[in-house]
Amino acid sequence: AACTEGAMAGERALLTKEPAPQTVPATQLPMKVAEVALNTGLDSSCGLATAGFRTAKYRPCEWHEHHHGLQLEATVGCEQAERCRLEARGLARSTAAAAQRAQQDSTAALGQRLHDIHFWKAELQKEIEDLDAETGLLAAQKVRLERALDATELPYAIATDNLQCRERRQHPDLVRDQVEIELLKEAELIRNIQELLKRTLMQAVNQMRLNRDHKEVCEMDWSDKVETYNIDEKCGRYNNQSTNIQFHPGSVKFEESASTPETWSKFSHDNIYRAEREKMASINLRALIDSILHDVSEDLRMQCAAVNEAFARRCEELEDAKHKLEYHLKNTLKEIGDQEANIAALKQAIKDKETPMKVAQTRLYDRSFRPNVELCRDPAQFRLISEVGELTESIESLKKKLLESEQSLRNLEDTRMNLEKEIAVKTNSIFIDKQKCMAHRTHYPVVLKLAGYQ
């Protein structure tokens, strides 16, 4: 009875629902015909009267043996069933505990994994923000470079205009003076600065592109980390009471492209390292740009001051030369007037000698008609001859002096013309340097504009 109850209890425990109906209809099995040995031994009876009672019957020992075998079989079956129940119960408890421990370990491993993912995600996010901020600062420096490059156009136009204006100077002021040397240096300096700014601008553009590329790589890595974090967080919330769990037999296989923890962390570490390297390169480039713009503005202003100083000195020289020329012109004009008066006096003196010459020559002519012995070489005759000689010599010397004076007057006139021409040249040079060039240079950009701040 105990075995029967145990068997029934076992069946109730194993059957959790009604068995499925059979698809094949049940049929009657053929009856098994038991072949019983005939009693042919010593105790058998061969009488015809007992033949129907003795056929196919067991002996008592066989009956007891059979009954004892059934009891033994039932006892062994119950013991085996009880032992199986105990083992199954223990196995169920141990497997349940192992499954719970495995699930707890998996949950803890997921939690640690979430911590690692969060760490790298935070590092990537910080690097992305730093790169974004650095790219913004570099973009501001790029704008300064563009402004400084645009600001150099005006100084270059001023320098070239000054050189072209000074080409209109007249000889002999068309000279390669210190102003022209400084202007050529200024034009060359501006061209070199423009080339430097263009190269630096290209470096800034390339660095900004590298910053954005590495920022994009970090953003993709960060996005993968966020997605993975959400997946692992969802996995960490799964439990035995979850309603959205199901069997996925093929999920236990490792993907061929799956990474290892070492390569996983190295991937993010390398991304951050490269981004940090580009960030430092960007910081160094910003410092270089700031230094370049500061030096460029200082160099341009110093060269501008040198040009202005050369212009000021040259204008002073021209003004001084012009004043001296005007002074000499004034003296020349006065001397021309005096020389003209002198020439007029010399002509008058020559003219004044004509009458005495006529008197003396008339006396000599008239005395040549003295008769006979009266034609004497007396002292009066000698004195008249001497007078004519003296008058002739005086007239010759006066005429010679008149020629000299007229030549001197012509020389003075030439000098006057040269002085007036030179004064006009100096006036033109002063007008070009002071009114054209120096006035144009007042529009030279200030330091803040040359440094790209405006």
Asked if pLDDT for residue 285 goes beyond 50, the answer is yes
d(CA 81, CA 84): 5
Nearest Cα neighbor of 347 from 407, 387, 401, 277 is: 401
DSSP state of 438: I
Mean pLDDT over the full length of the chain = 85
Residues 228-247, mean pLDDT to the nearest whole number: 88
What integer is the mean pLDDT of 118-139?
Answer: 94
Q: Vertex 187, ends 183 and 190: CA angle to 5°?
A: 135
Q: In the predicted model, is pLDDT for residue 23 greater than 60? A: no
Output the pLDDT for position 54: 52
Tokens 């008249």, residue located = 384
The pLDDT of residue 29: 46
Pairwise CA distance, residues 134 & 123, whole Å: 16
Amino acid at residue number 175 = V
* Cα separation, 299 vs 447, whole angstroms: 10
Question: Could you tell me the two tokens for 54?
Answer: 């003795």
Which sign, positive or negative, has the C-alpha torsion 295, 297, 298, 304?
Answer: positive
Find how far residue 62's CA is from the centre of its chain.
109
CB 286 within 8 A of CB 397: no
- Residue % of the chain over a pLDDT of 90: 56
Please answer whether residues 332 and 419 qualify as being in contact, where contact means their C-beta atoms are separated by less than 8 angstroms: yes
* Distance, C-alpha 324 to centroid of its chain: 58
The pTM of the full predicted model, rounded to 2 decimals, is 0.68
User: Span 297-309, mean pLDDT?
Assistant: 91
Q: For residue 418, what pLDDT band results from cuts at 50, 70 and 90?
A: very high
If we measure between CA atoms, which residue out of 142, 162, 161, 149 comes closest to residue 190? 149
Taking only the tens place, the pLDDT of each residue in 192-231 is: 999 999 999 999 999 999 999 999 999 999 999 999 999 9
Dihedral sign, Cα of residue 420, residue 425, residue 429, residue 434: positive
Residue 357 burial (CB count, 10 A): 17
Please give the Cα distance from 131 to 148 (Å, whole number): 25
**7 pLDDT above the threshold of 50:** no
Please report the DSSP string for 370-408 in residue order: --GGG----HHHHHHHHHHHHHHHHHHHHHHHHHHHHHH
Cis peptide before 21 (omega within 30 of 0): no
Q: Quick one: which of 225, 207, 213, 208 has its CA closest to 267?
A: 225
Confidence of residue 239 (pLDDT cuts 50, 70, 90): confident
CA angle 173, 178, 182 (to 5 degrees): 125
- Expressed in angstroms, the distance from the first to the final Cα of the chain is 108
Distances (CA, A) of 181 to 163, 175, 203, 306, 364: 10, 10, 33, 10, 79
Q: Which two tokens stand for residue 364?
A: 């000599």
Residue with more model confidence, 57 or 154: 154
Mean pLDDT of 160-181: 89
Mean pLDDT, rounded, for 405-432: 92
Helix (H, G, I), strand (E, B) or coil at 263: helix
